[in-house]
Structure 1
Amino acid sequence: MKALIFAAGLGTRLKPLTDSMPKAMVPVAGKPLLWHTIQKLKSAGFDEIIINVHHFAEQIIDYVQANDSFGIRIEFSDERNQLLDTGGGIKKASWFFDDDKPFLIHNVDILSNIDLRNLYKIHTKSNSIATLVVSRRETSRYFLFDENNRLEGWINEKTGEIKSPVARLNPINYRKLAFSGIHVVDPAIFHYMTDFPEKFSIVDFYLSLCNKENITGFEPENLSMIDVGKLESLDEAERFLRLD
């Protein structure tokens, strides 16, 4: 099975650590975030991985090569010339997903107890072009899903901004769920990306597609998840890994 790890971000919320290293190399429990993500993917059966790189890209490439690619196939999608955002990052890595099978996307700064193998099976048994792992955690931005867990829109509760192909969508009529940065998608999405620019958001892409294809939310039971995107979350991440 194949996967994409998003590791190109600048990690600005983890400054000053990311003044000298990429977010993927920030250590938690003595190992870089990238190590934890690769090990989780490997244990779930993902043996072909592509990592997008931009900020201090050489450190990530050198680390993977020094560890003999952790015994699996690992390639890199080089965004050093331009950071392409989440949608553009997927589009640029499309060459890697040449087997016509679904693939998993995982942010490098997410730690969770989710069963990735089960998530992949759930997606393959669905009729969805993308399955997004979501939760009820508190945030300011939410995807909006109907009673069948089908994506219908997005809301920023701080600004009141709503995005949806549904005319005059009323958020009250939908379930508000936070996106985890973990999703499984079919390579058929690349057909819809041809008209998108080089750089674009996967959130905006999904919202442009959700009235044409099934994009569903999956809310795992008893999900524990930490976004290790800011300095305050590092201690919590250490505790999470000790308990995991």
Structure 2
Amino acid sequence: MLNAMIFAAGLGTRLMPLTQNTPKAMVQVNGQPLLWYAIHNVIQAGATRIVVNVHHFAPQIIAYLNELSFPGVEIMVSDERDQLLETGGGLLKAKNLFVKDAPILIHNADVLTNSNLTTLVNQHRTNGALATLMVQQRPTQRYLLFDCNDELCGWENLKTGERIITRDKDHLQQMAFNGIQMVDYRILEMLGGVRKFSITRGYLDLSPDYAIRAWKDWQGQWFDIGTIEKLHEAIHEFKHNTQ
């Protein structure tokens, strides 16, 4: 059994004017909304219970989800219209919608990839980690720091100079987080109460005592549809995996 959560509550301010009357998750790439690609990816990986959180233009997303039908798959909504909780709080708010004790595949709606996420699911189930994060070496301002065993040891912001080290290790690797991850169900009890916070902050807090591992040997394309420029790039270059 596999749960999935798709974070679809974002405001999409950097995609204006496309998001003036449309939620970011419903912005289209080659005839399908971003949300459709995320749902396809997690179903292909084996998810049979999918939770989608909503906030910005929530009725549009809910109406779209009500039109979808996938045999053997339940799609449920976690409503954050009262308060946008970011990724960590959004995961915790959805706790009662997940199948208990089944792992959770988490996918940002604004991430577009044709990578085979079954590989991530299988790696997580065998690596003994509390969470396994899709990462890569690419230019960014904020990096997760991993040791030679691919375990999370810290975080740094190159723009502000802020650096957090949670495990004192040598030769740390800078890796950019790709917005897709696998977590054990038990992490829901470890992250505390429902509140507004980033899941990355939660991983850092847990990393001194639990293995948070990198998934960096993935194959395929990956796009963060955070800007109009990135959207245009994806429209021209993305190849959807229909297998």
TM-score strictly above 0.5: yes
SS state at 1:216 partner: strand
SS state at 2:154 partner: strand
39-48 or 106-115: which moved more?
A: 39-48
Aligned 1:109-148 pairs, distance under 5 A: 109-148=110-149
**Retained in 2: the 8 A contact 1:142–1:156?**
yes
> Structure 1 59/206 Cα, relative in aligned 2: closer, same or farther at 3 Å?
same
219-228 or 54-63: which moved more?
A: 219-228
| 1:19-51 C-alpha deviation (Å, 9 max, x unpaired) | 101001101101111111112222222221000
Deviation at 1:145, TM superposition (A): 0.3
> 1:52 corresponds to which letter in structure 2?
N
Structure with more of its chain in helix, by fraction:
1
> 1:42 corresponds to which letter in structure 2?
I
Separation in structure 2 between the aligned mates of residue 42 and residue 88 of structure 1, nearest angstrom = 24
Deviation at 1:107, TM superposition (A): 0.3
**Retained in 2: the 8 A contact 1:64–1:70?**
no
Which of 184, 187, 211 is matched with 2:185 structurally?
187
| 1:53-81 C-alpha deviation (Å, 9 max, x unpaired) | 000000000011123x4442100000000
Separation in structure 1 between the aligned mates of residue 220 and residue 157 of structure 2, nearest angstrom = 23
Structure 1 ranges of 4+ moved more than 4 A: none
Counterpart residue number, 1:28:
29
Counterpart residue number, 2:171:
173
Counterpart residue number, 1:202:
199
| 1:120-157 C-alpha deviation (Å, 9 max, x unpaired) | 01100011000001000111110000110000000001
Aligned length: 239
Separation in structure 1 between the aligned mates of residue 100 and residue 160 of structure 2, nearest angstrom = 41
Counterpart residue number, 1:149:
150
Deviation at 1:240, TM superposition (A): 2.9
**Retained in 1: the 8 A contact 2:55–2:81?**
yes
Give me the TM-score of the superposition, normalised by structure 1: 0.93
Separation in structure 2 between the aligned mates of residue 223 and residue 157 of structure 1, nearest angstrom = 27
Separation in structure 1 between the aligned mates of residue 27 and residue 55 of structure 2, nearest angstrom = 15
Give me the TM-score of the superposition, normalised by structure 2: 0.93
Separation in structure 2 between the aligned mates of residue 152 and residue 92 of structure 1, nearest angstrom = 27
Counterpart residue number, 1:226:
223
> 2:128 corresponds to which letter in structure 1?
N
SS state at 1:173 partner: coil
Show structure 2 runs of 5+ residues with no match.
none
Separation in structure 2 between the aligned mates of residue 97 and residue 76 of structure 1, nearest angstrom = 11
Separation in structure 1 between the aligned mates of residue 162 and residue 130 of structure 2, nearest angstrom = 26
